[in-house]
Amino acid sequence: MGFLYSQLFVTPRIPDGTDFSGQVILVTGANTGLGKEAARHFVSLGAAKVIIAVRNLEAGEQARKDIIRTTKCPDSVLDVWKLDLGSFSSVESFAERASNLPRLDVLLENAGVASNVHAISEKYERTITVNVISTILLALLLVPKLKEQVSEHGTTPRICIVSSEVHAWTKYKEQDSKDIFATLSDKQTANMDERYPTSKLMEVLLVRELAPRLKDSGIVMNMINPGLCKTDLSRDRNFQAFMLSVMKLLLARTSEQGSRTLVAAAAAGKESHGRYMTDALVDDAALSPFVRSEKGAEAGKELWRQLQPILDGISPGVTKNVDA
Ligand SMILES: NC(=O)c1ccc[n+]([C@@H]2O[C@H](COP(=O)([O-])OP(=O)(O)OC[C@H]3O[C@@H](n4cnc5c(N)ncnc54)[C@H](OP(=O)(O)O)[C@@H]3O)[C@@H](O)[C@H]2O)c1
């Protein structure tokens, strides 16, 4: 019911007075969809630099030109950087490059994939690699840079993770596995029909697990539900395609309207730390009953316990960046 009400009756708003003057903002997956529209808003709202992080530089350049055309901003405000979340070395190179920025105010982790086709990237099923492992890896790699932002500029940097209400639409049976990531990645055991919702649930569980570890860092980490929006997200999906198209036709927000929820999270204050934003407002009550339950908290702990060695295996010591 909450979903239908939001889709039918709520148009998210960017809070009045939102201003990103002087800020440097990184948006992953900003060549299209919600990320591109959020980047356009950041430029219009005064950002000094918006970095469009993309796996396809040509698509990124087209988005850059389009944003310059519509906002009339100087060319220098927008940069296009290569980032492929399907490659851990790409994530590391990108983070290293970002660590050399003069400042970093917002890391908006928007890029994501929704597919029911089983494929492997870096030993793990692709959705899990892109939406979960690389997304968290990038956040952790940039924690030192964001802490530097706090100490050198005295501002509140944000890590915003774009999740989804579909985090509630999975049974997440893999949670009881001794090796969650292997079970998710094995073609024989992978439930690809629930894969996208499972990846979004894993993001939610991990934000709730990691945010408390960052509570004294000065960094705000929050997560976003943009609502159902008209984008190309389901382009790879060959199941339920008809039903999804009908739902989108009847209920979906435009990508610009959806992108307002991303912008609101990038501007949200400490009250949003570790919390879920839906309709551009902090609202943990909109999280699934499982996430809010003790079992959900335990599942988050176990997920983090199993993810740590994977992250440290990719980038030794990276999980220490969020040691409480
Ligand atoms: N649309 C909705 O209804 C909806 C609802 C809830 C949550 N969300 C979330 O919103 C976020 C943005 O989705 P969207 O709807 O705007 O979809 P989209 O238009 O498909 O945008 C997804 C972006 O992620 C990028 N991406 C995919 N795989 C990548 C990889 N391996 N490395 C780097 N970038 C990669 C895509 O790049 P390419 O163009 O190169 O593929 C694209 O820029 C996602 O996290 C999604 O889960 C969307």
DSSP annotation string for 4-70: HHHHHH----PPTT---TT-EEEEETTTSHHHHHHHHHHHHTT-SEEEEEES-HHHHHHHHHHHHHH
What pLDDT digit, counting tens, does each position of 131-168 carry?
999 999 999 999 999 999 999 999 999 999 999 999 99
- Give catalytic residues, as residue numbers: 163, 196, 200
Sign of CA dihedral 96, 100, 105, 108: negative
Question: By the 8 A CB rule, do 224 and 28 touch?
Answer: no
pLDDT of 249 > 80? The answer is yes
What pLDDT digit, counting tens, does each position of 191-209 carry?
999 999 999 999 999 999 9
Q: How far is the centre of ligand 1, averaged over its atoms, from the C-alpha of 206 (Å)?
A: 19
Q: For the packed helices 241-251 and 2-9, what is the interaxial angle rounded to 10 degrees?
A: 50
Whether ligand 1 lies within 6 angstroms of the CB of 47 is answered as no
Whether ligand 1 lies within 6 angstroms of the CB of 91 is answered as no
pLDDT of 237 > 80? The answer is no
Nearest-atom number in ligand 1 for the CA of 196 is 47
Q: How far is the centre of ligand 1, averaged over its atoms, from the C-alpha of 152 (Å)?
A: 32
Determine the pLDDT at residue 235. 74
pLDDT of 239 > 70? The answer is no
What pLDDT digit, counting tens, does each position of 21-38 carry?
999 999 999 999 999 999
Whether ligand 1 lies within 6 angstroms of the CB of 130 is answered as yes
Determine the pLDDT at residue 324. 64
Q: d(Cα 19, Cα 124) in Å, to the nearest integer?
A: 39
Q: Nearest residue CA, atom 11 of ligand 1? A: 110
pLDDT of 241 > 80? The answer is no
pLDDT of 238 > 70? The answer is no
Three-state DSSP at 254 gives coil
**2-314: CATH class:** alpha beta
pLDDT of 16 > 60? The answer is yes
Residue to substitute in 28, 55, 198 for testing ligand 1 pocket (most ligand atoms within 8 angstroms of CB): 55
Burial degree of 150 (CB within 10 A; 0-12, 13-18, 19+):
middle
Token pair 């198209």 in the structure block, residue: 245
Nearest-atom number in ligand 1 for the CA of 253 is 3
Domain range annotation of the chain: 2-314
CB atoms near residue 59 (< 10 Å) = 16
Q: What share of the chain is helix, strand, coil (3-state, %, to 5)?
A: 55, 15, 35
DSSP state of 310: H
Give the pair of three-digit tokens for residue 37. Answer: 């529209």
Residue to substitute in 3, 7, 32, 41 for testing ligand 1 pocket (most ligand atoms within 8 angstroms of CB): 32
Cα angle, residue 318 at apex, residues 294 and 202 outer, rounded to 5°: 35
Whether ligand 1 lies within 6 angstroms of the CB of 226 is answered as yes
